[in-house]
C-alpha cells in the first residue's frame, strides 16, 4: 500500500482477514462461519456483490490493504467453505471484487484502518440475512445480546 507492489488477493487470505477482524469486533468463529454459510445458501451472487459494493465504494477502502490487517504468507487456510447445495460463494465473490478494486484503483492513498474494516463484510452479510429472514435463531439471539450490551 502506498508502494509500487500491489497486494496479492487470495480467497484464503481474504477469509482469514475477515475472521481476524470480526473476532476483534466481538464475533466468535462459529458465528462468523454460520453467517458466511447461510449467505452461500440463501443469497445470490448478485445480492452479495451488491452488499459488498457498498463497502468497496468507501473512500477509505485502501485501509483494508494495510500490511497490519491484510497479508499473504502462503500459510492461510480457507475459513468459509460453501456447503453442498450452495447458490453462491461469498468469499470468492469478495476476492474477485477486491482484485477489480486493486486493478482499477492502484496505487491507492495510504489510510489508517479506521473506517473500513474486514469485519464490515461479515456485518453486511449478517444484516442482509437478518433483514431477509434467513438468519438463524442463534444469530438473532446474539444480535439482540449485542444490541442490549450484554
> Tens of pLDDT along 87-143?
999 999 999 999 999 888 776 676 665 656 899 999 999 999 999 999 999 999 988
Q: How many helices (H) and strands (E) does the chain have?
A: 6, 0
Taking each helix axis as running N to C, give the angle between helix 90-105 and helix 29-42, from 0 to 180 degrees, rounded to the nearest 10. 90
- pLDDT above 90 as % of the chain: 61
24: phi then psi, degrees, rounded to nearest 5: -70, -20
Q: What is the model's pTM? A: 0.89
Burial 32-43 (b: 16+ CB within 10 A, else e): bbbbbbbbbbbb
- The Cα–Cα gap between 64 and 114 comes to 10
Q: Please tell me what DSSP assigns to residue 64.
A: G
Amino acid at each position: 500500500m502506498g508502494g509500487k507492489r500491489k497486494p496479492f488477493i487470495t480467497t484464503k487470505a481474504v477469509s482469514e482477514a475477515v475472521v481476524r477482524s470480526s473476532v476483534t469486533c466481538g464475533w466468535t468463529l462459529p458465528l462468523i462461519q454460520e453467517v458466511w454459510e447461510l449467505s452461500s445458501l440463501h443469497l445470490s451472487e448478485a445480492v452479495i456483490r451488491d452488499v459488498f459494493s457498498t463497502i468497496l465504494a468507501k473512500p477509505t477502502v485502501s485501509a483494508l490493504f494495510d500490511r497490519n490487517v491484510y497479508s499473504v504468507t502462503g500459510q492461510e487456510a480457507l475459513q468459509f467453505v460453501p456447503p453442498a447445495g450452495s447458490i453462491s460463494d461469498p468469499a470468492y465473490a469478495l476476492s474477485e471484487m477486491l482484485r477489480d478494486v486493486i486493478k482499477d484503483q492502484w496505487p491507492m492513498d495510504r489510510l489508517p484502518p479506521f473506517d473500513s474494516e474486514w469485519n464490515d463484510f461479515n456485518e453486511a452479510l449478517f444484516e442482509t440475512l437478518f433483514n431477509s429472514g434467513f438468519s438463524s435463531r442463534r444469530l438473532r439471539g446474539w444480535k439482540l445480546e449485542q444490541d442490549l450490551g450484554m
